[in-house]
Amino acid sequence: MSSSSRTTDPAVLTRTLTSAVRALAADDGGAFEDAGAALAAFDAEAARTVLGWLLRGALEELHPDGLDADDLRAVVERCARSAPAWFTGLDPHLLVLALTGALGEHPEVAETPRAPHEAVLRHALLLVADLVAATRRPLSRHVEAALAEVRRAETVEMP
């Protein structure tokens, strides 16, 4: 499937993210896998952008005075420990990759673990579920804020 035929509909993305987070909360591996596959079928650039804003917003809410390496390490450790037993292929390096990517930090290609796009997305979903739960605000509010940031960024003209 070419990226041009992949969906970019925000409503579809919202439903997919909601399904994934609910599946994690319900400890439903099958539903999570279905949501992960649906997210992987979404336009990759759009999915990464929205997930990045979503993760960044939750991190900013939880750490209003800024983040340091210890804060990020704690997020990764908590998320890895709380991952359900059925989550196969848990890789803390992919959690770090998803988290640092959301913060705009991209390691050198040689330092980046080789992983399929879907595996990175699944790890990003674990982070989303963990961070959103920690904020104690509904996922829908986080998704709305992330989509608003995407729309705002799209209206800003590049120099």
Report pLDDT digits (tens) over 62-113: 999 999 999 999 999 999 999 999 998 899 999 998 998 888 876 665 656 6
Instruction: Please tell me which residue, 16 or 157, carries the higher pLDDT value.
Output: 16
pLDDT the model gives residue 1: 40
The distance of Cα 129 from the centroid of its chain, to the nearest Å, equals 8
- pLDDT at 159 exceeding the cut of 90: no
Report pLDDT digits (tens) over 16-71: 999 999 999 999 999 999 999 999 888 888 888 889 999 999 999 999 999 999 99
Number of C-beta neighbours around residue 89 at 10 A: 10
Q: What single string gives the DSSP state of each residue in 22-86?
A: HHHHTT-HHHHHHHHHHHHHB-HHHHHHHHHHHHHHHHHHH-TT---HHHHHHHHHHHHHHS-TT
pLDDT the model gives residue 135: 94
* 38 neighbors 19 (Cβ within 8 angstroms): yes
Which class for 151: exposed (0-12), middle (13-18), buried (19 or more C-beta within 10 A)? Answer: exposed
pLDDT the model gives residue 105: 79
Number of C-beta neighbours around residue 152 at 10 A: 10
Q: Coil, strand, or helix at residue 7?
A: strand
State the average pLDDT for the chain.
86
> Which secondary structure element, helix H or strand E, spans residue 89, and what is its range?
none
Q: Per-residue confidence at 7, pLDDT binned at 50, 70, 90?
A: low
pLDDT the model gives residue 4: 43
pLDDT the model gives residue 109: 57
Who contacts 72 (Cβ-Cβ below 8 Å, separation ≥6)? 96, 99, 100
Report pLDDT digits (tens) over 116-137: 888 889 999 999 999 999 999 9
